[in-house]
């Protein structure tokens, strides 16, 4: 595929993603969490101040709300939601850039961008005044900078500062962005096992992230000086809940009762393919993606005190990474069938079925031409 053709397809995907996010953006009233955002911004600008406004109404990291204070728009529904549209589009663009850096074939970058553009869950959160698209953009940016560092065997000074700054901003967006630490940790363990790095370098990496986390701890001390209510609205963690969360993250589905069985089976088929690809080094840095997606789920299931945050809304802060797992699963299937005459047909049919199912469910979740917010 020529560069000009790739850019043409990329622009079409971005325009489609933008249209589906901005169309009828103010058609639905704000839901409860958006009202928290609106009240926090309004009170911060007209009275109590930013920290007091955060303490009184919502317990979250400050970056998204601080950026909303700098946003030049008014307090209308459209204006409050529009930054999320922009962060969603930046995430799609950054994901495609990441894929073109990792793999020479641009078709995988276009597939990742298309899946993210039409992912129902990501569309929903790109249409609400919340921090989830910003978190996805920052995690995607850190992932790009980190994997670029691994493939280039080092950073220039400016790149190093940019990577550290993006990591700090990610940590100050949402506490779940801390999954960057175990994801990079798995890479460090592999490098240590293969004697590519020393224990000293691992220690330096740990100290660096500790320094980056200190401002987050200071913020937590400022904000959480009161009892935080138990999240009683979160369903208990059981097998049914795990399957629902997996369905939401890997398929982009929410509040849909009737899902074709053949489409539910696709992730069950894809994940082993990705693991196979990682095992035989067909997927570079696959351990990073497993650390960013599957490891947090396992951790949340093992530790009872924090099971209340086992919710697709929080884990969707890295929704782009779950889309990457799906794309890398398809790529692994393509690599396994290398040399087979029927490879192109098999891969095309599997990807086609997945896209057809996602398009069907995306339309199903837009009965009035836009996403109805009922969370």
**Residue 244 domain boundaries:** 3-364
Neighbour-count burial of 294, counting CB atoms closer than 10 A to its CB (0-12 exposed, 13-18 middle, 19+ buried): middle
Tokens linked to 232: 């009683």
pLDDT band, very low/low/confident/very high, at 260 (cuts 50, 70, 90):
low
Distance of CA 149 to the CA centre of its chain: 20
**Residues 324-357: b if buried by 16+ CB within 10 A, e if exposed:** bbbbbbbbbbbbbeeeeeeeeeebeebbeebeeb
In a domain, 369, yes or no: no
Cα within 13 Å of Cα(194), Cβ side: 7
End-to-end, the C-alpha distance of the chain in Å comes to 42
Burial profile 242-274: b = 16 or more Cβ within 10 angstroms, e = fewer: eeebbbbbbbbbbeeeeeeeebbebbeebbebb
Let me know if residue 371 belongs to a domain: no
pLDDT of residue 155: 65
- Inside any domain, residue 375: no
C-alpha angle with apex 89: 77 to 95, nearest 5 degrees? Answer: 150
Q: Which residue do the tokens 């208990």 mark?
A: 236
8 in any annotated domain:
yes
189 occurs within a structural domain: yes
Asked if residue 374 belongs to a domain, the reply is no
Cβ contact 166:138 at 8 Å: yes
For residue 298, what are its two tokens?
Answer: 């396992």
268 — pLDDT class (breaks 50, 70, 90): low
Domain count, the chain: 1
CA distance 267 to 273: 10
Instruction: Encode pLDDT of 213-234 as tens digits.
Output: 988 888 877 776 555 444 455 5
| 169 contacts 63 by C-beta, under 8 angstroms | yes
153-201: pLDDT as tens digits: 666 777 778 888 999 999 999 888 888 988 888 888 888 888 888 889 8
302-351: pLDDT as tens digits: 654 455 555 667 778 888 888 888 888 888 888 777 777 887 888 888 88
**pLDDT at 154 (0 to 100):** 61
Element (H, E) at 105: none
Q: Is residue 49 part of a domain?
A: yes
Residue 87 lies in a domain: yes
């Amino acid at each position: 595929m020529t560069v000009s053709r790739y850019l043409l397809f990329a622009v079409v995907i971005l325009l489609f993603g933008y249209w589906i996010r901005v169309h009828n953006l103010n058609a639905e009233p704000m839901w409860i969490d958006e009202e928290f955002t609106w009240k926090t911004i309004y009170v911060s600008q007209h009275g109590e101040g930013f920290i007091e406004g955060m303490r009184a109404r919502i317990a979250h990291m400050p970056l998204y709300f601080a950026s909303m204070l700098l946003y030049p728009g008014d307090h209308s529904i459209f204006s409050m939601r529009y930054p999320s549209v922009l962060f969603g589009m930046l995430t799609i663009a950054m994901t495609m850039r990441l894929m073109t850096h990792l793999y020479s074939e641009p078709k995988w970058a276009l597939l990742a961008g298309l899946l993210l553009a039409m992912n129902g869950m990501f569309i929903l959160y790109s249409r609400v005044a919340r921090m989830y698209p910003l978190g996805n953009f920052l995690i995607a940016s850190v992932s790009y900078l980190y994997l670029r560092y691994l493939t280039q065997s080092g950073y220039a000074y400016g790149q190093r500062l940019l990577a550290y700054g993006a990591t700090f901003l990610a940590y100050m967006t949402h506490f779940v962005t801390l999954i960057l630490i175990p994801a990079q940790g798995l890479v460090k363990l592999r490098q240590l096992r293969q004697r590519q790095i020393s224990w000293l370098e691992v220690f330096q990496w740990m100290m660096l992230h500790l320094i980056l986390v200190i401002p987050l701890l200071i913020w937590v001390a400022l904000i959480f000086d009161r009892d935080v209510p138990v999240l009683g609205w979160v369903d208990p963690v059981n097998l049914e809940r795990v399957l629902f969360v997996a369905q939401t993250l890997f398929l982009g589905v929410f509040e849909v009762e009737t899902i074709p069985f053949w489409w539910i089976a696709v992730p069950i088929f894809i994940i082993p393919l990705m693991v196979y690809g990682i095992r035989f080094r067909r997927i570079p840095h696959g351990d990073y993606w497993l650390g960013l997606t599957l490891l947090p789920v396992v951790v949340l299931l093992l530790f009872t005190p924090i099971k209340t945050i086992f919710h697709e809304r929080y884990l969707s802060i890295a929704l782009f990474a779950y889309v990457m797992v799906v794309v890398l699963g398809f790529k692994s299937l393509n690599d396994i069938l290398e040399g087979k005459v029927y490879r192109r047909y098999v891969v095309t049919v599997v990807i086609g079925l997945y896209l057809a199912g996602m398009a069907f469910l995306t339309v199903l979740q837009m009965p009035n031409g836009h996403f109805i917010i009922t969370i």
